[in-house]
Structure 1
Amino acid sequence: MKVDDLVNRVDELLSMGQEVLASRRRSDWGEYVDSGLMSGFRSASLSFIERVYGSVHPHFSEIKEGADGSRPSDADKCIAVLRAVRSEIGGGWLFSIKGLITAEVFADFIEMAEHLLDAGYKDPAAVMCGGVLEEHLRQLCLKNGMEAVIFRDGKEIPKKADTLNADLARAEIYSKLDQKMITGWLDLRNKAAHGHYDEYTADQVKNLLSSVTEFMARVSV
């Protein structure tokens, strides 16, 4: 999903929030808004924030725990959170933060692969490194608003790593030379994954680890 799509969805939610506020009424007990509209607005906001940020993010808990009634102030709080979300997504902060987290996770997996290689397990090290590379390509596609899946018979199917590689090079996210190198790295990963262990050496896996690490640092998410 592209950034514009996310921003458009936030704008739709903000419009729902304004409809809720327009239903404001006063009684002997104070002001209130239409409970049905508020419930739908709150549920839609929580669903969106959970998908984008996760259920442990402060934005999620701020609405779930702090806007659980049918008062105008509950609607105002949801709207304030959504405006903050819109600012973060529109300003690129969301993907910058995700990129930092992704880099830390990938670094941990690369370190594990290095430990496996040092212990004499070149084959699982190659598979693990190739997996990190493939996910990095997927994250690059998402960062640049490119589809990382295809739709077949109504189902989402992740694109293969070679397809991601070709798409990214075609979009000039990185060079054709990078594309050729990545093709070679993926080929080594595939050999390891399919049991062709005698077709590559431990030194080649060592070079794979260092090359993939350098590439991910240079072409980062």
Structure 2
Amino acid sequence: MTKLFGKRFSELETQITTLESTKVMKYSEFSGSYPSIDANALLGWEVKAKSLISNVCGEESHHMQTFVEAEKPRSFSNSFEELQRVKAIFLAAKEDYEGGYLNTVRNLVQAEVFGSELEQAGELLSAGYASAAAVIAGVVLETNVRNLCTDHDIEHGKLDKMNADLTKAGVYNSIQQKRITAMAGIRNAAAHGDTEKFNAGDVKGMIDDVERFLASNLQ
């Protein structure tokens, strides 16, 4: 997904250059000579750019809001000047994206990594390696809990402490806290070889619960 976004940024940047190359000089008795580009072509590019910015930055992001403001008609402004305004915002979003400064992009990357690890856990479980599957799912769970602590300025520590602190801060409710505690119990039992404390069904439920937990927090 993130590779597709990077490719799309490059495509739209190329289209900006193409749009700029179509600039022609027009004349108005009110403003004299002024540069102009095709308004419909500009509108089409803006729609595509907004879709991309919305996906990588968020619909309510500063990038998106500033872009929408920049494309609004202005007195004594022309289509070429409008392109220059939205271009500046688009390139700023592209730079932040490529630098990894967008929280949404960070979440996309994490979602891809975590999704791959949970798939691996599922495959191990199917092959009969329930303990290994539980340990991998547990690592994904704890990493996500730790990231939530970072996002909410909560001190890192042991999983049970972070879990309690996140609940106290209202990040999630006590029901989710109990689920995380249960999942951590399966992970700990698997890591210590206490296979009598869980079965394959418990691990399958754990993987599913971790996936749901990620879906609710990686947005």
TM-score, length of structure 2 as denominator length: 0.53
Paired residue for 1:210? Answer: 208
Paired residue for 2:163? Answer: 165
SS in 1 for 2:116: helix
Unaligned 5+ segments in structure 2 are 1-91
1:198 deviates by 1.3
d(CA) in 1 for partners of 2:172 and 2:101?
Answer: 22
| Contact 2:142–2:159 (Cα < 8 Å) also in 1 | yes
**Higher radius of gyration, 1 or 2:** 2
d(CA) in 2 for partners of 1:107 and 1:88?
Answer: 24
- % of aligned pairs identical? 40
d(CA) in 1 for partners of 2:102 and 2:162?
Answer: 22
Paired residue for 1:124? Answer: 132
2:106 maps to 1:135: no
> How large is the RMSD of aligned CA atoms in angstroms?
2.4
Paired residue for 1:102? Answer: 110
1:93 deviates by 5.6
d(CA) in 1 for partners of 2:205 and 2:127?
Answer: 16
SS in 2 for 1:96: helix
Paired residue for 1:114? Answer: 122
| Contact 2:108–2:218 (Cα < 8 Å) also in 1 | no
List per-residue Cα deviations over 1:167-214 (Å, max 9, x = no partner).
Answer: 111111111110011001001100001110111100110011111101
The count of aligned residue pairs is: 126
d(CA) in 1 for partners of 2:181 and 2:109?
Answer: 26
Which residue type is aligned with residue 210 of structure 1? D
d(CA) in 2 for partners of 1:103 and 1:171?
Answer: 24
Which residue type is aligned with residue 160 of structure 1? K
Paired residue for 2:173? Answer: 175
SS in 2 for 1:120: coil
Paired residue for 1:199? Answer: 197
1:88 deviates by 5.2
1:218 deviates by 1.3
Paired residue for 1:40? Answer: none
| More moved, 111-120 vs 207-216 | 207-216
SS in 2 for 1:192: helix
